[in-house]
């Protein structure tokens, strides 16, 4: 198509050129011919007119001659007429000559006009005829110069000759005029035809030009159409691309607005690019992000020292020689604590996590850095809570393990003790003592009180194996130890002590909670499976053994409990429980106070392991239980001292007391309830409880036998009537 | 390789790891002074340097070593949370970072990374 296009273009061009050329020529020709037609027409008209005038002249000559004749007839002088006649004839002659040969013609108006000779064969022929005829007449007119002698006959003859000749001339002129007209007409016709030809040519050339143009237009139009189709195609693709881009941008915007991380891009100077996720604004709590530097965002949020570390790190990021891995490891932004000024005037802490990804330019230099910022406060807080919960769980588990072998009474005793001591400590710990100024009076005494209380609790805790409390008290005692040396203790020492006390209280609460949970569980167990205990008294023995072993382990003692001969079945459940409590208490005491450590026992020649023997029997109307351990028995001296220390008796009075009296004392509530801060026994040995249970609740009798260094022996007699009906 | 650490456990861990990899002769030092003496003699190509040792300014030691031999690759051993010190050390030319506590495989990875970059 391209080739035909080119050929077509050539044709069109040729048409154009030819058209223009021909058109120009034709137009010129047409104009020329038109002018010529006009000239011919004009000439013929003029010539006809002139001929007409000449004929009129001829007529006037004839008239003049007739006039002459008449004048002659009238006998008038013909001179004037003759002169006129000659004159007019002369004019006629001149004009005729001019008409024939060219020259000037005199018009009736008196003007002269130059003309070309008449042309055309017929015309020339006629002119000759007219000339010949006139010449004859003219001769006659001129010859007659003797008008005076003009006879009438001569005049008549002149008149008739002239009239005849002039008529002939006039007729010839008529023919001439006709001929001129005809000639002109035919010439004009010919010219008109030629003109028509040229006009047609001109029209044709115009058509050619138009055709060429139209051709171009058409082809051009085809081209244009083709181009416009192409253009349309381009436009379509373009708009498709544009809408693709638009769509892509919309999706990016959607991602940026919904992604939960702050995503942004910085250049090597740290300037942030405009395209970032909305979350960035939320995290940094500012609208001004793009255009600022990344470090700038942190300036109000961290202390200067931190900011300088961040700045150093950011500089390291720009260096492509530093490995990505290393930089990721030392990233100080990984978990960064930041502080926002809060509206209330204080501040709000949050944790931000930032990771960096470097984008390299083809040459290997760092071109951009892609940054993802997360507000990880929630997860950090969660981790902290989790850790705290785990610690609490561990602690509680430890506690649980410690107390699971303890009876409830021991626990309760311990709990009360700790509460008491805590109160005492609170009382002794005064804020004003820790003003940081001069050591206040009485501080030493108060510190002593605090120390004693802590020691007491520690002792109790150690006894029953509650390490948590032991540790708390040790920490407390450490603090106190430091304070003793301090001249003027300040607020932070106070705070330290307060914190330990707070811990102590919390652990106590946890203990109480555990204890109540445990007692519920135990109660459940007992109500649901009393049969178990009923049917297997041996299990109680195992319980006691477990208890003895557990406590013994913490104190470095080994104790075995032999209770094969113990049968609790004859008892009602209430009594049984009461007795079990008693036995538990006694076992505790034996392990804690009575039985010595292995080394001591070996020293004393005893077997390294202590033994507790429990047996029961029914005799007559009584149920008897015997309890015996091979420990150190009751230390009478110590008791004596304690009695004195408690103020229960004077030193001298104590000397006079018998052994049984002294022993009896230890069962006194007064003796037992007072806590001895110098000993490890804490709340005494719970023997008041034993006494009360046996004597009051079970309405029984009790006897004690102690051999210092050897053994301790209890016997309980409980009357049968209290007992359950015997199976027959 | 020179191992500078006051903890025996750490020294042993690293020595074991290096022995398994093979190709390195190792010397150990317990403090900065000993470290510098050995450094002069032994001229190690890689040094693991604990910058948390109490009696020594780890960074100063590092600077001294780099002055003697700018091409030595120093891996600093530091507490995990002490990013500020780590950043400072890397700024001053450390090539590797081992946060405590680390296992043998952690050490192997770090050594591989540092050795690789040393070549490049």
Chain A residue with minimum CA distance to B89: A330
Structure-token match 């209330």, residue found = A344
B23: CB partners within 8 A, 6+ apart: none
B87–A306 CB contact, under 8 Å: no
Opening angle at CA A660, ends A659 and A661, nearest 5: 90
In this prediction, residues A201-218 reach a mean pLDDT of: 82
B87–A323 CB contact, under 8 Å: no
Chain B residue with minimum CA distance to A321: B117
User: What pLDDT digit, counting tens, does each position of A84-143 carry?
Assistant: 778 888 888 888 888 888 888 777 777 888 877 777 777 788 888 888 888 888 887 777
Beta bridge mates, A626: A615, A715
B87–A332 CB contact, under 8 Å: yes
pLDDT, residue A538, reads 46
User: What pLDDT digit, counting tens, does each position of A546-573 carry?
Assistant: 888 888 888 888 899 998 888 887 777 7
A312–B113 CB contact, under 8 Å: no
Chain B residue with minimum CA distance to A334: B83
B83–A306 CB contact, under 8 Å: no
pLDDT band at A151 (very low <50, low <70, confident <90, very high): low
Which A residues in the span 296-355 are in contact with B, Cβ-Cβ below 8 Å?
305-306, 309, 312-313, 315-316, 322-323, 325-327, 329-332, 334
A326–B91 CB contact, under 8 Å: no
User: What pLDDT digit, counting tens, does each position of B65-101 carry?
Assistant: 999 888 899 999 888 777 888 898 999 989 999 888 8
B113–A315 CB contact, under 8 Å: no
- Nearest Cα to Cα of residue A704 among A676, A675, A663, A674: A663
Q: Please tell me the pTM assigned to this model.
A: 0.43
Using the predicted structure, report yes or no on whether residue A56 has a pLDDT greater than 80.
yes
What percent of chain B stands above pLDDT 90?
9
Where helices occur in A259-343 by DSSP H, the ranges are: 278-284, 294-298, 304-317, 324-329
A708: CB partners within 8 A, 6+ apart: A632, A633, A634, A635, A636
Structure-token match 């952690």, residue found = B106
**Chain A residues with beta carbon closer than 8 angstroms to that of B85:** none
Q: Are strands A112-115 and A103-106 parallel, antiparallel or unpaired?
A: antiparallel
B97–A329 CB contact, under 8 Å: yes
DSSP symbols for A417-429:
HHHHHHHHHHHH-
pLDDT, residue A532, reads 46
Using the predicted structure, report yes or no on whether residue A282 has a pLDDT greater than 60.
yes
User: What pLDDT digit, counting tens, does each position of A588-605 carry?
Assistant: 888 888 888 888 888 888
Q: How far is B97 from chain A (nearest CA, A)?
A: 7
pLDDT, residue A537, reads 40
Both tokens of B118, joined, read: 């040393």
In this prediction, residues A64-90 reach a mean pLDDT of: 76
The dihedral formed by the CA atoms of A684, A686, A687 and A689, expressed in degrees to the nearest 10: 140
**Chain A residues with beta carbon closer than 8 angstroms to that of B86:** 329-330, 332
User: What pLDDT digit, counting tens, does each position of A620-674 carry?
Assistant: 778 899 999 998 888 788 788 877 877 777 778 878 888 778 888 778 766 654 4
B91–A325 CB contact, under 8 Å: no
CA distance A540 to A545: 8
Q: Can you state the angle between helices A467-485 and A377-403, rounded to 10 degrees?
A: 110
Best residue in B91, B94, B112 to probe A by mutation, most A CBs within 10 Å? B91
User: Is A295 near chain B, with CB under 8 Å?
Assistant: no
User: Is A380 near chain B, with CB under 8 Å?
Assistant: no
Structural contact between residues B25 and B1, judged by C-beta atoms closer than 8 angstroms: yes
Q: Which of A190-199, A431-440, A669-678 is predicted with the least confidence, judged by mean pLDDT?
A: A669-678
Pick from B84, B95, B113: which is nearest to A309 by CB? B84
Q: How far is B43 from chain A (nearest CA, A)?
A: 23
Using the predicted structure, report yes or no on whether residue A144 has a pLDDT greater than 70.
no
Chain B residue with minimum CA distance to A322: B95
Beta bridge mates, A339: A349
**Chain B residues with beta carbon closer than 8 angstroms to that of A305:** 84
User: What pLDDT digit, counting tens, does each position of B27-36 carry?
Assistant: 998 888 888 8
What percent of chain A stands above pLDDT 70?
91
Structural contact between residues A573 and A530, judged by C-beta atoms closer than 8 angstroms: yes
């Amino acid at each position: 198509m391209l080739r035909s296009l080119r050929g077509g273009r050539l044709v069109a061009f040729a048409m154009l050129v030819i058209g223009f050329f021909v058109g120009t020529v034709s137009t010129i020709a047409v104009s020329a011919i038109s002018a010529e037609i006009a000239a011919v027409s004009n000439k013929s008209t003029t010539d006809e007119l002139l001929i007409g005038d000449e004929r009129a002249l001829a007529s006037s000559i004839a008239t003049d001659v007739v006039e002459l004749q008449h004048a002659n007839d009238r006998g008038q002088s013909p001179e004037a007429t003759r002169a006129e006649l000659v004159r007019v004839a002369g004019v006629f002659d001149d004009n005729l000559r001019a008409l024939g040969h060219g020259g000037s013609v005199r018009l009736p108006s008196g003007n002269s006009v130059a003309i070309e000779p008449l042309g055309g064969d017929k015309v020339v022929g006629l002119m000759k005829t007219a000339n010949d005829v006139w010449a004859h007449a003219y001769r006659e007119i001129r010859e007659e110069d003797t008008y005076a002698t003009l006879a009438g006959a001569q005049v008549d003859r002149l008149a008739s000759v002239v009239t005849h000749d002039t008529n002939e001339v006039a007729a010839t002129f008529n023919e001439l005029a006709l001929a001129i007209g005809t000639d002109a007409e035919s010439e004009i016709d010919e010219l008109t035809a030629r003109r028509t030809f040229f006009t047609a040519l001109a029209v044709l050339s115009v058509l050619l030009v138009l055709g060429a143009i139209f051709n171009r237009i058409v082809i051009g139009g085809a081209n244009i159409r083709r181009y416009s189709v192409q253009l349309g195609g381009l436009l379509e693709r373009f708009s498709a691309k544009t809408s693709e881009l638009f769509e892509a941008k919309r999706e990016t915007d959607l991602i940026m607005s919904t992604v939960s991380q702050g995503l942004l891009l910085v250049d090597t100077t740290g300037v942030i690019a405009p395209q970032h996720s909305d979350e960035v604004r939320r995290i940094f709590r500012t609208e001004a992000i793009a255009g600022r530097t990344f470090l700038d965002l942190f300036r109000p949020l961290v202390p200067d020292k931190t900011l300088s570390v961040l700045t150093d790190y950011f500089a390291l990021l720009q260096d492509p020689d530093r490995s990505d891995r290393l930089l990721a490891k030392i990233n100080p932004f990984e978990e960064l604590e930041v502080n926002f000024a809060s509206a209330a005037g204080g501040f709000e802490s949050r944790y931000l996590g930032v990771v960096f990804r470097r984008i390299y330019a083809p040459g290997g230099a760092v071109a951009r850095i892609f940054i993802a910022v997360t507000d990880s406060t929630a997860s950090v807080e969660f981790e902290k809570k989790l850790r705290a919960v785990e610690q609490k769980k561990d602690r509680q588990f430890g506690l649980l393990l410690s107390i699971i072998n303890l009876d409830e009474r021991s626990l309760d005793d311990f709990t009360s003790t700790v509460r008491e001591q805590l109160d005492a400590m609170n009382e002794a710990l005064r804020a004003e003592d820790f003003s940081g100024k001069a050591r206040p009076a009485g501080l030493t005494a108060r510190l002593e009180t605090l120390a004693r209380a802590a020691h007491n609790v520690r002792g109790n805790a150690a006894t029953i194996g509650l390490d948590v409390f032991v540790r708390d008290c040790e920490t407390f005692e450490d603090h106190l130890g430091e304070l003793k040396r301090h001249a003027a203790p300040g607020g932070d020492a106070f705070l330290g002590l307060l914190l330990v006390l707070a811990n102590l209280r919390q652990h106590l609460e946890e203990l109480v909670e555990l204890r109540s949970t445990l007692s519920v569980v135990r109660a459940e167990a007992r109500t649901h499976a009393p049969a178990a205990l009923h049917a297997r008294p041996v299990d109680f023995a195992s319980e006691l053994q477990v208890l003895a072993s557990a406590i013994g382990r913490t104190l470095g003692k080994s104790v075995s409990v032999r209770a094969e001969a113990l049968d609790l079945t004859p008892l009602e459940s209430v009594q049984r429980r009461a007795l079990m409590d008693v036995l538990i208490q006694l076992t505790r005491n034996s392990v804690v106070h009575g039985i010595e450590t292995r080394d001591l026992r070996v020293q004393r020649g005893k077997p390294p392991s202590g033994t507790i023997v429990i047996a029961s029997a029914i005799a007559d109307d009584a149920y008897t239980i015997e309890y015996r351990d091979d420990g150190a028995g009751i230390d009478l001296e110590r008791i004596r001292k304690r009695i004195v220390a408690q103020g229960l008796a004077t030193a001298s009075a104590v000397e006079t007391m018998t052994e049984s009296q002294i022993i009896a004392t230890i069962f006194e509530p007064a003796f037992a309830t007072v806590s001895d801060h110098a000993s490890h026994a804490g709340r005494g040995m719970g023997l008041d409880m034993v006494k009360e249970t046996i004597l009051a609740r079970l309405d029984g009798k009790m006897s004690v036998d102690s051999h210092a260094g050897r053994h301790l022996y209890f016997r309980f007699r409980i009357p049968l009537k209290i007992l359950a009906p015997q199976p027959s | 390789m020179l191992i500078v650490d006051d903890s025996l456990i750490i020294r042993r861990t690293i020595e074991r790891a290096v022995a398994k990899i093979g190709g390195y002769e190792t010397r150990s030092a317990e403090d900065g002074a000993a470290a510098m003496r050995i450094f002069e003699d032994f001229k190690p190509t890689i040094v693991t340097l604990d910058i948390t040792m109490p009696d020594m300014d780890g960074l100063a030691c590092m600077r001294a070593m780099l002055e003697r031999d700018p091409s030595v690759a120093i891996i600093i051993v530091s507490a995990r949370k002490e990013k500020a010190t780590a950043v400072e050390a890397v700024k001053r030319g450390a090539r590797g970072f081992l946060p405590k506590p680390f296992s043998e495989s952690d050490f192997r990875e770090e050594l591989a990374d540092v050795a690789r970059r040393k070549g490049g």
